[in-house]
Structure 1
Amino acid sequence: MSNKELNLTKDMFAPAHIDPSKSEKIAKPSLNFWQDSWLRVRKNKGAVVSMIILVIMIIMAFVGPMITPYAYDTQNTKHNNLPPRIQGLENVHWLPFDGTLSRRDGTKYNAYEVRKVDEYYWFGTDNLGRDQFARVWKGTQVSLFIAFMAALIDMAIGVAYGAISGYLGGRTDSIMQRIIEIIVGIPNLIVVVLMILVLKPGIIPIIIALTITGWTSMARVVRAQVLKFKGQEFVLAAKTLGASDSSIIFKHMIPNMFGVIIINTMFSIPNAIFFEAFLSFIGLGLQEPHASLGTLVNAGFKSMIAFPYQMIIPSIMIALIMVCFNLVADGLRDALDPKMRD
């Protein structure tokens, strides 16, 4: 084909006009590490939805006991074992909030009408007539408090122990690692149960029991990071300028491993919630009238066949919290890992 048939002209081969003032213009805004990480987290829909659910649950853990007219520890035996009933949804029979229960022969009846109760209990009541709505959110508050405190203490002890062990090295590192191996070698459940039996059940004893062995994984991760950073240029430069060992560890090394620390802390929170629920379920958790999600599941398990809602609702709360924290931690791991940058 000729140039005329292809409609080619000399103007198509003219050099492009380049504006020198725009040659070094940066089209994309400059982002720091945390801004870039947040943009990467937003791409993970599961992590974003889990964050929203966790924020709602944390808010409700503090607001929930206040928006119901019943206190979590107030007993009213005349209203015991009432099923959930929500005003406005009581006539929607396919929802489990109409106040009905099933007899042994399979027939259903409205427990509120039979017992002539005019109040509304959104999550029902337990065997002592206490409002389950207030108790579930109070239990969520207590469980989250125990988990967050245990995770923060684990982080503080593990970061300090691992950083010192990895930085000093030699015989000190060897001795400190043998101590960790001894602690890890003892079954975690035995240590926690013994501590609960010695200190007696309560919020503070449970936190102490969870932190006795919980910090070891954080210490090992931080030690590995310190060993990796110890020979890098910024540490050698700090030594050359006369920085002290504590300054190098806590001002130069630890800020460079914030991502790893945050991720491990996020994973340790659901583990602490599960362990607290397990202790409460076997009777070593909080004692009456205090409530946690584990104690509510334990109390509901005893009457699961007749009143299943007493166990199902707190069980759903535990499952939601654990799944959401794991999804958020997974999203943060992908966002804060430099190797995952696209």
Structure 2
Amino acid sequence: MVNHPEKRFPKEMFEPAQIDQSLIEKIEKPSLSFWQDAWLRVRKNKAAIVSLVLLILLIFMALVGPFLSGYDGEVQRAEHSNLPPRIAALENISWLPFDGTLTSRNGDTLTPYEDKRIEEYYWFGTDGLGRDLFTRLWEGVQISLLIAFLATALDMIVGVSYGAISGYFGGRVDSAMQRVIEILNGIPNLVIVILLILVLEPGILSITLALAITGWTTMARVVRGQVLKMKNQEFALASKTLGATDLRIIFRHLLPNMVGVIIINTMFTIPNAIFFEAFLSFIGLGLQPPDASLGTLIEEGFKVMLLYPYQLLFPSIVISLLMITFNLLADGLRDAFDPKMRD
């Protein structure tokens, strides 16, 4: 073997490495809170992010939409009845349904704006009484979301409190409280609605109460199960040993540890409430004309869908988007809050 002195390694390369004791416990990965970790996982779910953006847009339009067209949704103009959608920037594009024309059953093209010599533009058309559908649609979304959020808030308050108390005390208290839930679940919602309408006038109050009377039972059962699992864990037993009251343990120690479960169930409750309100209004047990909600608009459009399909199309699209976005967002939150789904 031939030695090559010019290729010898310098002695400095063989000196002992210096160990910095301060770096031994150093953690390179940043420390994340529960909410930061959940948000990072939600961001990876493209369906949940798209649903969140669409949901924010729909809520924004529900707030400002009734003021954009310049028409009052309650004003009736008989001479402007059943006008098709027409938008100034899109009326010259023939393949879009915003040119102000209708197609009859015989295939003929009808031009009601020209026939009636109407210069105004109705973005979503008008109904049989000449009311602007764009304004009424977003007013209906307001009412539907209001009913859904009110009913969901009552469900959350009553269901969380009831389920937490039932699960924490257990025994005879739990048994008696669960029998009440079983009785309420055995009564169909439609029966409760009819009874409330006999006592109260059909409207927001009666629908909200009907949704809240039986809707909280699902939340109560979920919270009860979580409390039964957590009440014998170390942090709860330590608080009890230190003299904390039962209510303090429930609302200051147990419930904060199940916030994720509560949020997920709340997100699934909202679309159910929207659909139930629309169903009640569609069959005539909900809001009554001239009040607008997604259910009443769909019911009115259903009557004339063969002649004026746009009156049914727009509210159907909006309620479908609300249902889909809330459910996809709830799925994303469920995966984000589940520790088993962590990378």
Matches within 5 A, 1:281-296: 281-296=282-297
2:112 aligned partner, one-letter code: A
Report what 1:162 is aligned to: 163
| Separation in 2, partners of 1:333, 1:191 | 31
Q: Which runs of 5+ in 2 are unaligned?
A: none
Report what 1:70 is aligned to: 71
Matches within 5 A, 1:260-339: 260-339=261-340
Report what 2:234 is aligned to: 233
Cα distance per residue 1:201-254 (max 9 Å; x no partner): 111111011101000000000000000011100010000100000000000000
Secondary structure at the aligned position of 2:102 is classed as strand
Identity %: 65
Cα distance per residue 1:180-199 (max 9 Å; x no partner): 01111122222223223331
1:230 aligned partner, one-letter code: K
Matches within 5 A, 1:153-232: 153-232=154-233
TM-score (norm 1): 0.94
Report what 1:100 is aligned to: 101
1:48 aligned partner, one-letter code: I
| Separation in 1, partners of 2:273, 2:178 | 23
| Separation in 1, partners of 2:97, 2:20 | 69
Report what 2:144 is aligned to: 143
| Separation in 1, partners of 2:104, 2:159 | 54
2:285 aligned partner, one-letter code: L
2:76 aligned partner, one-letter code: Q
TM-score (norm 2): 0.94
| Separation in 1, partners of 2:115, 2:143 | 35
| Separation in 2, partners of 1:163, 1:285 | 32
Matches within 5 A, 1:116-135: 116-135=117-136
Count of matched residue positions in the alignment of Structure 1 and Structure 2: 339
| Separation in 1, partners of 2:96, 2:14 | 72
> What's the Cα RMSD here?
2.1
Q: CA deviation at 1:92?
A: 0.3
1:94 aligned partner, one-letter code: W
| Separation in 1, partners of 2:58, 2:19 | 56
Q: Which runs of 5+ in 1 are unaligned?
A: none
| Separation in 2, partners of 1:197, 1:16 | 86
Secondary structure at the aligned position of 1:231 is classed as coil
Q: CA deviation at 1:13?
A: 9.8
Q: CA deviation at 1:68?
A: 1.4
- The 1:283/1:13 distance shift into structure 2, 3 A limit, reads farther
| Separation in 2, partners of 1:14, 1:143 | 75
Q: CA deviation at 1:20?
A: 4.4
Q: CA deviation at 1:22?
A: 3.6
- The 1:107/1:240 distance shift into structure 2, 3 A limit, reads same
Q: Check whether the contact 1:196–1:209 (CA below 8 A) recurs between aligned residues.
A: no
Secondary structure at the aligned position of 1:38 is classed as helix
Determine whether 1:81 maps to 2:82. Answer: yes
